[in-house]
């Protein structure tokens, strides 16, 4: 609980994100550490990568017709405890998006109603198409792979540079489209496309860590939405699947209406009917 309080009220989030990005990219003992599943989105083909990309690993297991129990177990255990918190504090690509959004330009507000699209990406590009084609199709289009693996390897390895084909330029186009969007829109990849965020988001409503809004204290001033990297009004739905538990709203709330709690029970409806 002390760690949670520190993260919610005292920690400078960018410092935790920076530390996590460095930890995700320490190229020491890679021959052992790459057996560990990275909790954030970080391409395992990055020359510096410490761990294994969870989405790439899931696709690999699907293409070899096996169930990725270890990977699902790790992601599920993290999600069950903290929900989507890794997106807010740990994910290197989330940090990259937060940094790009700080660039001073006119900003565009995009509704979260298209948040369901990330589940389509997860089911279609990560599960179904790799199962049918035996190819990791999300990896082929992934902007993180282009940024962390494609560009560095093309720069440092002449053999790979010589092998560059049309697909590489498609990946670059996807990457730079996302970069442009990230400057203008709050975390567009996390909100609408991220399959890892889609997995973690499934746990937001049942995870041990939960958000709470005291309606009697809330003044509906929308400061929470201004500071939210996901452009959410936390009072609409404190444990929305889009919330990345970055706790920016907790720190910013002028009335102290928003808090972080440990959930001790979940109410499960088993019967609901009208009495005539």
Partner 1 sequence: MVKVSFKLRWFGVILALIFVAMAVYGILRDEVTEVLNNARIICLSCIGIE
Task: List residues binding partner 1 (CB under 8 A).
Answer: 30-32, 34-35, 37, 43-45, 49, 51-53, 56-57, 60-61, 64, 66, 68-77, 79-81, 135-136, 139-140, 142, 145-146, 149-150, 153-154, 160, 163-165, 167-172, 203, 206-208, 263-275
Q: Which is nearer to partner 1, 37 or 190 (CB)?
A: 37
Q: Which is nearer to partner 1, 229 or 241 (CB)?
A: 241
**HSE value, Cβ hemisphere, 13 Å, CA-based, for 147:** 16
Q: Which is nearer to partner 1, 82 or 246 (CB)?
A: 82
Between CA 37 and CA 25 the distance in angstroms is 13
Q: How far is the CB of 172 from partner 1 (least distance, A)?
A: 7
Neighbours of 254 (CB within 10 A): 10
Contacts of 170 (CB under 8 A, 6+ apart): 141
Q: How far is the CB of 147 from partner 1 (least distance, A)?
A: 10
Using DSSP's 3-state secondary structure scheme, residue 22 falls into helix
Q: How far is the CB of 196 from partner 1 (least distance, A)?
A: 15
* DSSP code per residue over 29-43: SHHHHTTSBPSS---
Q: How far is the CB of 2 from partner 1 (least distance, A)?
A: 18
Q: In angstroms, what is the C-alpha Rg of the chain?
A: 20
Residue 225 burial (10 A CB sphere; 0-12, 13-18, 19+):
middle
Between CA 198 and CA 102 the distance in angstroms is 25
Q: How far is the CB of 108 from partner 1 (least distance, A)?
A: 28
Q: Which is nearer to partner 1, 41 or 228 (CB)?
A: 41
Q: Which is nearer to partner 1, 12 or 273 (CB)?
A: 273
Q: How far is the CB of 59 from partner 1 (least distance, A)?
A: 9
Q: How far is the CB of 155 from partner 1 (least distance, A)?
A: 11
Q: Which is nearer to partner 1, 79 or 238 (CB)?
A: 79
Q: Which is nearer to partner 1, 207 or 240 (CB)?
A: 207
Using DSSP's 3-state secondary structure scheme, residue 225 falls into helix
Using DSSP's 3-state secondary structure scheme, residue 235 falls into coil
- Backbone φ and ψ of 4, nearest 5°: -65, -45
What does the chain come to in residues? Answer: 276
């Amino acid at each position: 609980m002390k760690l949670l309080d520190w993260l919610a009220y005292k920690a400078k989030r960018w410092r935790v994100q920076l530390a996590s990005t460095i930890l995700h990219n320490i190229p020491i003992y890679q021959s052992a550490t790459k057996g560990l599943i990275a909790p954030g989105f970080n391409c395992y083909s990055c020359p510096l990568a410490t761990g294994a990309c969870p989405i790439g690993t899931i696709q690999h297991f699907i293409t070899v017709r096996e169930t990725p129990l270890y990977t699902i177990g790790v992601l599920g255990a993290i999600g069950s405890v903290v929900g989507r918190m890794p997106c807010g504090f740990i994910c290197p690509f989330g940090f990259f998006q937060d940094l790009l959004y700080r660039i001073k330009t006119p900003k565009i507000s995009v509704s979260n109603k298209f948040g369901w699209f990330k589940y389509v990406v997860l089911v279609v590009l990560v599960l179904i198409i790799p199962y049918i084609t035996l190819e990791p199709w999300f990896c082929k289009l992934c902007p993180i792979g282009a940024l962390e693996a494609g560009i560095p390897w093309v720069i440092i390895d002449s053999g790979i540079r010589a092998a560059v084909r049309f697909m590489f330029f498609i990946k670059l186009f996807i990457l730079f489209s996302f970069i442009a969007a990230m400057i203008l829109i709050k975390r567009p990849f996390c909100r609408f496309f991220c399959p890892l965020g889609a997995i973690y988001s499934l746990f937001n409503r049942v995870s041990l860590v939960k958000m709470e809004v005291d309606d009697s204290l809330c003044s509906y001033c929308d400061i929470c939405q201004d500071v939210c990297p996901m452009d959410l009004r936390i009072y609409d739905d404190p444990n929305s699947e889009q919330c990345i538990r970055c706790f920016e709203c907790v720190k910013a709330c002028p009335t102290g209406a928003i808090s972080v709690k440990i959930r001790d029970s979940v109410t499960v409806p088993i019967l609901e009917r009208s009495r005539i």
